[in-house]
């Protein structure tokens, strides 16, 4: 069986609020634990009306406190928004409270617009690629055992060896993850354009490290499952509407599903959304299993990160339950 995990953005639907969304995230995590998901990750976004996970470390603590065994982490923390020391202290705190259950996924995008990036006290005078590799290494060093005479430490954090992942949608993070010997998660669920090149680059250039002997790839996959194909397609329309709003520069809360999404957008908009959401499996249980197996056979990920932005919480629970049932039936491809 291939490991399967869950990415949640703690979506805020129209008519809902952030507090309700966070409680729904905890409820989803508790169900995911029962359904066999390995990890439950939350993502940092800012100034996004439909996403409640901005204070990612705080929400991770809330979810970890309400679960028992599932790993909880970030998918990811946007490191350019923070000092490495602060992130080390936050995740050192989480690891101290929930030992052996915390993951730290790192991204180099701001997770927001330039106006909000400046409000986050980021240094916007240079490309984050200039400092991201050094920031990652500095952060990882805070989790090492302190050296004699070391004056600056993460407390808590030092010596805790919190697992670090690199996240990305380009070749940059793939190459960095390979050079540092870290596991790599690709954001194929919304930006699949460089997926194949990035995975190939990571695997070809991977250097074993103290924490990881072989390359380890996680791929994001949208899975919208329902008891009928028509209902799954309706559920998927909420995510399509969310991307349409982003294309038009009008982000908002998660909208209710519609029956005819194609009539709401131009051909150019539809083509863009199809490209962005190409890594999506939508349908009834049988077609979802078939689609997920094709994805695994084609890309050969070491782990799946399943996600779905669904308006109705009960429908969201059902979708992730069906996705878990399918994931447990997946067979690993024969090694090349």
> What is the average per-residue pLDDT within 246-260?
94
Query: Is the domain defined by 4-120+128-226+281-329 classed in CATH 3.20.20.30?
Result: yes
pLDDT attached to residue 333: 82
Does the pLDDT value for residue 336 go beyond 90? no
User: Cβ-count burial of 246 within 10 angstroms (0-12 exposed, 13-18 middle, 19+ buried)?
Assistant: middle
pLDDT attached to residue 121: 66
pLDDT attached to residue 130: 76
Give pLDDT tens digits for 50-93: 999 999 999 999 999 999 999 999 999 999 989 999 999 999 99
3-state secondary structure 117-162: HHHCCCCCCCCHHHCHHHHHHHHHHHCCCCCCCCCCCCCCCCCCCC
Token pair belonging to 38: 């390995």
With beta carbons less than 8 A apart as the criterion, state whether 229 and 281 touch. Answer: no
> What is the average per-residue pLDDT within 3-22?
97
Give pLDDT tens digits for 117-152: 676 765 555 555 578 999 999 999 999 998 888 889
With beta carbons less than 8 A apart as the criterion, state whether 169 and 75 touch. Answer: no
Does the pLDDT value for residue 212 go beyond 90? yes
pLDDT attached to residue 112: 58
3-state secondary structure 226-247: CCCHHHHHHHHHHHHHHHHHHH
Name residue, tokens 């490495």.
84
pLDDT attached to residue 123: 57
Does the pLDDT value for residue 269 go beyond 60? yes
φ, ψ for residue 248, nearest 5 deg: -90, 0
Per domain, the residue ranges of the chain are 4-120+128-226+281-329
Handedness of CA 177, 178, 183, 185 (dihedral sign): positive
User: How large is the angle between the packed helices 195-205 and 171-180, nearest 10 degrees?
Assistant: 20
pLDDT band at 335 (very low <50, low <70, confident <90, very high): low
Cα separation, 266 vs 273, in Å, equals: 11
With beta carbons less than 8 A apart as the criterion, state whether 152 and 196 touch. Answer: no
């Amino acid at each position: 069986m291939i490991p399967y995990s869950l990415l949640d953005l703690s979506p805020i639907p129209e008519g809902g609020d952030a507090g309700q969304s966070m409680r729904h995230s905890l409820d989803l995590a508790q169900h995911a634990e029962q359904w066999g998901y390995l990890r439950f990750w939350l993502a940092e976004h800012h100034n996004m009306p439909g996403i409640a996970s901005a204070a990612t470390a705080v929400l991770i603590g809330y979810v970890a406190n309400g679960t028992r065994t599932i790993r909880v982490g970030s998918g990811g923390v946007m490191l350019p928004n923070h000092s490495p020391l602060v992130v080390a202290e936050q995740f050192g705190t989480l690891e101290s409270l929930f030992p052996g259950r915390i993951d730290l996924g790192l991204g180099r995008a701001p997770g927001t617009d330039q106006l909000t990036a400046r409000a986050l006290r980021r240094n916007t005078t240079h490309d984050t690629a200039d400092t991201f590799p050094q920031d990652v290494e500095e952060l990882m060093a805070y989790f090492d055992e302190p050296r004699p005479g070391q004056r600056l430490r993460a407390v808590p954090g030092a010596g805790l060896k919190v697992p670090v992942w690199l996240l990305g949608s380009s070749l940059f993070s793939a190459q960095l993850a390979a050079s540092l010997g870290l596991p790599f998660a690709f954001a194929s669920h919304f930006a699949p354009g460089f997926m194949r090149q990035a995975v190939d680059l990571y695997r070809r250039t991977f250097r074993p490290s103290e924490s990881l002997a072989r390359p380890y790839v996680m791929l994001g996959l949208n899975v919208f499952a329902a008891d009928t194909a028509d209902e799954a397609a309706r559920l998927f329309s909420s995510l399509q509407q969310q991307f349409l709003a982003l294309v038009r520069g009008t982000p908002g809360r998660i909208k209710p599903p519609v029956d005819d999404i194609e009539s709401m957008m131009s051909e150019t908009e539809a083509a863009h959304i199809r490209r962005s959401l190409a890594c999506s499996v939508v349908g009834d249980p049988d077609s979802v299993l078939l689609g997920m197996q094709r994805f695994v056979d084609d890309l050969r990920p070491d782990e799946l990160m399943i996600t779905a932005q669904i308006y109705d919480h009960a429908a969201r629970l059902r979708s992730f339950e069906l996705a878990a049932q399918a994931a447990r039936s997946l067979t690993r491809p024969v090694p090349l």
